[in-house]
Amino acid sequence: SAVISQKPSRDICQRGTSLTIQCQVDSQVTMMFWYRQQPGQSLTLIATANQGSEATYESGFVIDKFPISRPNLTFSTLTVSNMSPEDSSIYLCSVGSGEKLFFGSGTQLSVL
Amino acid sequence: SQQGEEDPQALSIQEGENATMNCSYKTSINNLQWYRQNSGRGLVHLILIRSNEREKHSGRLRVTLDTSKKSSSLLITASRAADTASYFCAAHAGGTSYGKLTFGQGTILTVHP
């Protein structure tokens, strides 16, 4: 299993600003995954962060809106840029172990 | 298209009763997984069943998979108040990265003491 530390745990932000979410894993992993969970909804994969290369984004998500960094094998950041109220969600990072995913505790973002 | 449609959306039972949640998916899968989420926070992996398996057990959990019907069910036996949470199925489709899971809408389970 992996221990994943994610911060901040929650934030309230103003429209038009940006927030960077950090994710630290206690072991080296090749891929890290960022998911979004909109209020009362399920989880949707935003992108896969690979160390040493550009992140791979899923349909409907773009780098300008959700830039991702992956400077090493234990750390990644997701930035939510130029936020609007529609970005209010829980953002979760995850890593795989075998076929299972382990998740951080999530960042609950509210945009006013 | 949305995989992992779940029912019921909400389930309320008494402690000691069994809880059954169902999940349907649309395309071929490598495996189907169930996760639990407490209070809208991080998810915890519960159990995984591969496409060539029909039933799997883990403690009080029993999961079944019917690939002909593209459906799965999760049974929690002898439920406890601590089982109160949201439960999500997640499908890993063939030919995709292992980290790309398609999650269902979830079932909110409430177990009353």
The tens digit of pLDDT for each residue in B46-67 reads 999 999 999 999 999 999 999 9
CB contacts, 8 Å: B42 with chain A: 4, 6, 92, 103-106
Enumerate chain B positions whose Cβ falls within 8 A of a Cβ in A. 4, 30-31, 33, 35, 40-45, 48, 88, 90, 92, 97-101, 103-106
Peptide bond into A39 cis (omega under 30): no
8 Å CB contact between B2 and B102: yes
pLDDT in tens, chain B (113 residues): 335 678 889 999 999 999 999 999 988 899 999 999 998 688 999 999 999 999 999 999 999 999 999 999 999 999 999 999 999 999 998 777 777 899 999 999 999 99
Residue found under tokens 């399920």:
A42
Contact B4 A42 (CB under 8 A): yes
Contact B98 A99 (CB under 8 A): yes
Could you read off the pLDDT of A8-56 as tens digits, one per residue? 999 999 999 999 999 999 999 999 999 999 998 899 999 999 888 889 9
In B4-70, which ranges are E strands? 5-7, 10-14, 19-24, 29-37, 43-50, 55-58, 61-66
Contact B44 A103 (CB under 8 A): yes
Q: Please report, as a single letter, which amino acid is at residue A41.
A: Q
CB contacts, 8 Å: B90 with chain A: 43, 101
Taking CA–CA distances from B97, the nearest residue in chain A reads A48
Residue-averaged pLDDT of chain B: 91
Going by C-beta distance under 8 Å and a sequence separation of 6 or more, which residues neighbour residue A40?
Answer: none
